[in-house]
Amino acid sequence: MRLDKYLADMGLGTRSELKKAIRGGVAQINGVVEKDPGASVSSEDHILWYGEPVAYESSVYYMLNKPAGTVSATEDRVHKTVIDLIYEYEESTDNAHVTVRKDLFPVGRLDIDTEGLLIITNDGDLAHRLLSPKHHVNKMYFARLDNPVTQEDVELFANGFKVDEELTAMPSKLEILKDSHCGAFAVIRLCCYFVAYFGLCGSVRFTPRAGLCWTLALVLERALSGFAVAAFPLAKDTGLAHTFATAADKQTVCRFLCGLSALLILALTALGGGGLAAAALLALWRYYFVAKKQFGGITGDLAGWFLQRAELWMLAALAVSQWGGVL
C-alpha cells in the first residue's frame, strides 16, 4: 500500500494534502524520515505522523447518542446528518491532523425526531449482521405517549398488525413502563388531595363511635383491595399485584374477603356508618372502571391509588354523617 493512501485511509487528510505534507518530511517509516508519498508500507510497519504513531485500522466504529433534529444519512441538503456530528466531534478533539474518514455510514436509521444509540462505521459486514432479518438483532425503543396504552395494545403488538394497505408490522413485544416523572397537574392534584384530607380531618369529631366506624372502614377498604387483586383482571404479568394474585388461591381468597367485607358493612351500618361503606364500594367500582378501561387491568400502583381515594371518600362520608346527625 502507498504511504499516502495508508494515511488517507486513517482519515489524516486528502491525498493531495498528504503528499504535500509527506514531501515536507513529517512522516517516518520504522524510524526513517520518508518523503516519497508512493513509498510502500504495510500494517506491520511503524508509521509516525508529526511524531505520533499511526496504526492502520481497516474499520472504525462510533457509538453515537443521536439527538433529535438530525437525520440518519451520510448527507442532506436541509438537515444536519449524523455524519456531520462525527465531524464536529473530531474537530472538538483539537487534533488538527485528524479528519473523518469518507466511507462512514450509519447502521440502520432513527427518525429525525427520535433520540438514541446509532452505530456509525465503515464495516459493511457488521452492518449486515445487525440489519439482516436472518440474524434478527432485537431493537428496543422507549416512547412517552399522551394517552395510556392497555393490555389490548400489548396483545396487538404480540400478534402483529396492519399499519396500512402496504405495511404490516411484524410481531413484537410491547411493555408498559411506570412513569417516573411527576408533571405539574400531578403535583396540583397531590396538593389538592392533602388539602382535602387534612381539611376533612379537621372537620371530623373523633368520638368513640366515630373512631370505631373509621377503624372498621379502614379494614373494609383493605379487604376490598385484596378482593380486587384476586378477582379483577391484571394489566401485566409482573409486579406485586401479579405475584400476589398468582400465589394465592383466588377462589378461596375471594370467598373469605367477600364474607369479611359483608360483615364489616353490616357492622358499619348498625353503628350508623353506612355512608362509609357506601363510599368504599363506590371507590371500588370506580377503581374497576378506570383500571379496565385505561390500563387493561389493575396493577400494584392502581391498588395504592384505590386505597388513597377510598380513604378520602370515606373520610368525607364520615364528616357528612356527623353533619347530618347520623353519627
Task: Judge if 221 and 318 occupy the same domain.
Answer: yes
Exposure string for 258-292, b = 16+ CB within 10 A, e = fewer? eebbeebbebbeebbbbbbbbbbbebbeebbeebb
Burial of 114 (0-12, 13-18, 19+ CB in 10 A): middle
Q: What is the pLDDT of residue 274?
A: 92
242-301 residue pLDDT tens: 777 777 788 888 899 999 999 999 999 999 989 999 999 999 999 999 888 888 888 888
Task: Judge if 114 and 153 occupy the same domain.
Answer: no
Confidence of residue 181 (pLDDT cuts 50, 70, 90): low
199-209 residue pLDDT tens: 988 888 888 99
**DSSP state, residue 162:** E
Task: Judge if 299 and 196 occupy the same domain.
Answer: yes
**What average pLDDT does range 29-45 have in this prediction?**
90
Q: What is the pLDDT of residue 284?
A: 94
- Per DSSP, the residues of 52-107 read EE----S--EEEEEEPTT-BSSS--SSS-BHHHHHHHHHHHTT-TT----TT-EES
Confidence of residue 224 (pLDDT cuts 50, 70, 90): very high
Q: What is the pLDDT of residue 246?
A: 75
H helices, E strands: number in the chain: 11, 9
Partners of 106 in the beta sheet?
120
Using the 3D structure, point to which of 37, 53, 69 is the last residue of a domain: 53
Task: Judge if 118 and 162 occupy the same domain.
Answer: no
Task: Judge if 153 and 136 occupy the same domain.
Answer: no
Residue 112 has pLDDT above 90, yes or no: yes
Between 95 and 32, residue with greater pLDDT:
32
Using the 3D structure, point to which of 125, 151, 177 is the last residue of a domain: 177
Burial of 257 (0-12, 13-18, 19+ CB in 10 A): buried
C-alpha of 165 from chain center: 30
Task: Judge if 209 and 136 occupy the same domain.
Answer: no
Give dist(CA 294, CA 302) in Å, integer.
11
Using the 3D structure, point to which of 177, 200, 234 is the last residue of a domain: 177
Confidence of residue 169 (pLDDT cuts 50, 70, 90): confident
Q: What is the pLDDT of residue 293?
A: 82
DSSP three-state, residue 217: helix
Task: Judge if 126 and 203 occupy the same domain.
Answer: no
Q: What is the pLDDT of residue 63?
A: 94
Task: Judge if 45 and 158 occupy the same domain.
Answer: no
Task: Judge if 188 and 300 occupy the same domain.
Answer: yes
DSSP three-state, residue 246: helix
Task: Judge if 37 and 87 occupy the same domain.
Answer: no
50-103 residue pLDDT tens: 988 888 777 889 999 999 999 999 999 999 999 999 888 877 766 545 556 778
Based on the structure, what is the number of domains in the chain? 4
Closest CA to 272 of 317, 223, 226: 317
**The domain containing residue 29 runs over which residues?**
3-53
Angle at 111 between CA 106 and CA 115, to 5 degrees: 85
First to last CA, the chain: 98
Closest CA to 114 of 88, 144, 137: 144
Task: Judge if 315 and 246 occupy the same domain.
Answer: yes
The CATH code of the domain that includes 137 is 3.30.70.580
Cell 382535602 belongs to which residue? 196
Q: Kindly list the catalytic residues.
A: 111
Task: Judge if 215 and 312 occupy the same domain.
Answer: yes
**What average pLDDT does range 112-116 have in this prediction?**
92
CA count, 13 A, side-chain hemisphere, 80? 12
**What average pLDDT does range 28-46 have in this prediction?**
90
- Per DSSP, the residues of 282-327 read HHHHHHHHHIIIIISSB-HHHHHHHHHHHHHHHHHHHHHHHHTT--
The CATH code of the domain that includes 25 is 3.10.290.10
Q: What is the pLDDT of residue 99?
A: 58
Cell 427520535 belongs to which residue? 114
